[in-house]
Amino acid sequence: MNKQMMRNMTLAIMLTLTAYRMQAQERVIMTPQQPERGATVTITYDPKAPGATIPADAQAVTLVFTYSNLYDVAYRVPMDRQEGKWTTSFKLARYATFAAFHLQSGEAIDRPAPNKLYEVAVYDGKQPVRDGLLYKGYSLSAQMGRSPELAAKQAEQYRAELALYPDNYEAKLRLLAYEMGKATGADKEKVRQQALQVIADKFNTGPTVSGNVNKVTMGYLIMGENSRVDSIRTVIRQRYPNTELGRELWTGYISKEKDTAEQIALFEKELKKETKANAKEFEEMHDRLFNIYAARKNGPKALLHARKIAVESDNPYRPHTLKGIAQQLLDNNIALDSAYAYATRTLALADQFPVGVIRYFPETGYIFPYVDDSTRQVAYSKARGNMQSILGLIAMKQGRKEVAAAHMEKALQASKDKETLDNIASFYKETGNSAKLQELEALREQQMLAKVKTQRISRPAPSLAAFVDMQGNPVPESAWKNKVVIIDFWATWCVPCMQEMPYIQKLYDQYKSNPNVQFMIVNSGARNTLADAQGWSGNKKYSFPVYYTNDPAVGDKFKFTVIPATYVIDKEGNIQFANIGFEGPDVEMKLRLQVDMVLGK
């Protein structure tokens, strides 16, 4: 395709976008229509305009981003009512590129057309900024789902991006990946080689620049060349060992050595190259050595390396680093005075703990997400509670029980999150305060109950007819009909599933005599056979009933993609609670409260 054809395609796409805006502009108006970075964008929605699908008497309207790189804007933005219309405004950050959204009020959703979304396309003069059409291509998956036309529609956007920015590396690879997927035989290999050359050229522009190498590895992943990711890292490690990236890769390589004594020798050999000018490049090595020496109970050596990683920096995760040092020293019962000092320093930084997902790009630096004030204050209170409770545990180990008790009281006042409560419980258990332990347990249950109430759903459960017992016999309908059913999907290879089993057993013990409750611990069949389930060692260890299903669509039917996945189904056959993943020891209490709620207790 020549350049003129690509320009024509880009113009056609932009005209189409303009047409959609014109069709919907009576009910959704964005000003300015072609905003640039730094501009304030105002979205106005008129529910009385033709085509509007949200009632004019709606009590609330929310702008919902389904794709966005406007990281400092909330994904759900409440709109304000003004003279019968709904409006909201936000400023475009220096990195803003593209966002797609719809408007929602309850179950009512307004889109410009079926399988379309409203857009905030950021401009540079009269054309979209770099990556704008690339990101629009990415956004199409939220609009089109698994449509067979999705890949082709995305390819159109990649071509349009390249018409404006011919050197766009990522758009080139996305388009080549699409073309390779369509090609066969020699043509397929030709496209593959073309893509590999694009990636090689990118690598050579900055083989020791971390951001550039990240794009190189991303390129290999886009093209399905996953095995090359480790290869390129090996090349960098061997060719450029005395660069920041080279040392980062050497640290990872040395850390794979199983013999910690050998790790120490290799790290200390590398540390001989450390100078005041390049000290930052060795922080990960010092971090690794700190953890090794702490585990070995070598306080002086651990502190030596702790000082190297506790330096002042603009890294927003520095409070976590200091907390980690204090926690490691506490856990290994070494250098407790220093542990107390590090914990005290961390407590002073409680209001600087990172909140939300902080992104980092070489081009932009750290990007801080939108976080509302209440969420931020909860995070800061949690940090204070964590650190007060850690200080309390350190003081207890130092023999200063009165000081420890004072810290625990402050911790409980600051936060009632799980980590804080666990630390407080450890203190009361160690000091034999059973009354306080009972109070904490009651508080935990009260909090868990409030959380469980918000998680209740009601949707028809899929058929259980595909389940068989350990003899391969179909499970009769009488096993679950008119009963509250607890289904836990697992697999023999799933480590979190194995970690959860003791708590499932404790839960089963509480209900096994109740005729209204049925447990079904189901091997999901993912990479497992009935023989695997039959030979599972847990069959001798646990007494709950185990079943098997080879239905490949069981995850789609129950709506889970990871295991363990545990469901509580009521007597009418509706899923009332869905629990995905292993949540630790609290899973026993959580499931018990869910079962009791469904039983009507």
Closest CA to 132 of 75, 213, 72, 68: 68
pLDDT at 304 over 90: yes
pLDDT at 3 over 60: no
The average pLDDT across 453-473 equals: 92
Q: Residues 466-500: pLDDT tens digits?
A: 899 999 999 988 888 999 999 999 998 999 999 99
| CATH number, domain 3-166 | 2.60.40.1930
Query: pLDDT-based confidence at 22, cuts 50/70/90?
Result: very low
Query: pLDDT-based confidence at 19, cuts 50/70/90?
Result: very low
The average pLDDT across 535-540 equals: 91
> Strand 118-121 relative to strand 98-105: parallel, antiparallel, unpaired?
antiparallel
The residue with greater pLDDT, 10 or 566, is 566
Query: pLDDT-based confidence at 15, cuts 50/70/90?
Result: very low
CATH architecture of 459-599: 3-Layer(aba) Sandwich (3.40)
Domain 260-418 has CATH 1.25.40.10: yes
Query: pLDDT-based confidence at 20, cuts 50/70/90?
Result: very low
pLDDT at 87 over 70: yes
Task: Count Cα neighbours of 97 within 13 Å in the Cβ-side half-sphere.
Answer: 18
By the 8 A CB rule, do 281 and 310 touch? no
The average pLDDT across 215-236 equals: 95
The residue with greater pLDDT, 1 or 302, is 302
Question: Coil, helix or strand for 88?
Answer: strand
Mean residue pLDDT across the chain: 92
DSSP 8-state symbol, 352: G
Question: Coil, helix or strand for 90?
Answer: strand
Cα distances from 106 to residues 61, 63, 85, 143, 357, in angstroms, run 8, 12, 17, 19, 28
Burial 184-194 (b: 16+ CB within 10 A, else e): eeeeeeebbee
Percent of the chain past pLDDT 70, that is, above it, reads 95
pLDDT at 458 over 60: yes
pLDDT for 8: 53
User: Token match 């475009």: residue?
Assistant: 92
By the 8 A CB rule, do 131 and 161 touch? yes
User: CA 242: distance to chain centroid?
Assistant: 33
pLDDT at 404 over 80: yes
Phi-psi region at 581: left, alpha or beta (left = phi > 0; alpha = psi -120 to 50): left
* Residue 202 CB contacts under 8 Å (≥ 6 apart), including other chains: 169, 212, 215, 216, 219
pLDDT for 358: 92
The length of the chain is: 601
Query: pLDDT-based confidence at 550, cuts 50/70/90?
Result: confident
By the 8 A CB rule, do 156 and 140 touch? no
Rg (the chain; Cα; Å): 29
484 bridge partner residues: 517
DSSP E strand boundaries for 253-298: none
By the 8 A CB rule, do 396 and 429 touch? no
Domain spans of the chain?
Answer: 3-166, 172-239, 260-418, 459-599
Q: Residues 584-595: pLDDT tens digits?
A: 888 999 999 999
The average pLDDT across 174-195 equals: 96
DSSP string, 545-574: -EEE---TTHHHHHT-SSS-EEEEE-TTSE
pLDDT at 561 over 90: no
> Cα angle vertex 316, ends 311, 319, to 5°?
60
By the 8 A CB rule, do 63 and 100 touch? no
> Strand 484-490 relative to strand 517-523: parallel, antiparallel, unpaired?
parallel
Query: pLDDT-based confidence at 134, cuts 50/70/90?
Result: very high
Instruction: Give the helix, strand, coil percentages of the chain, each rounded to 5.
Output: 50, 15, 35
The residue with greater pLDDT, 381 or 476, is 381
The helix (H) or strand (E) run that includes residue 124 is strand 123-124
pLDDT for 164: 97
Distance in angstroms (rounded) separating the CA atoms of residues 408 and 387 = 10
> Cα angle vertex 142, ends 141, 147, to 5°?
50
> Strand 546-548 relative to strand 459-460: parallel, antiparallel, unpaired?
unpaired
pLDDT for 478: 87
The helix (H) or strand (E) run that includes residue 102 is strand 98-105
Q: Residues 38-55: pLDDT tens digits?
A: 999 999 999 999 999 999
Query: pLDDT-based confidence at 18, cuts 50/70/90?
Result: very low
By the 8 A CB rule, do 63 and 76 touch? yes
DSSP string, 477-502: GGGTTTSEEEEEEE-TT-HHHHHHHH
**0.95 surpassed by pTM:** no
Tell me which amino acid residue 467 is: F
pLDDT for 231: 94
Distance in angstroms (rounded) separating the CA atoms of residues 2 and 8 = 10
Distance in angstroms (rounded) separating the CA atoms of residues 112 and 150 = 18
The residue with greater pLDDT, 532 or 516, is 516
pLDDT at 525 over 80: no
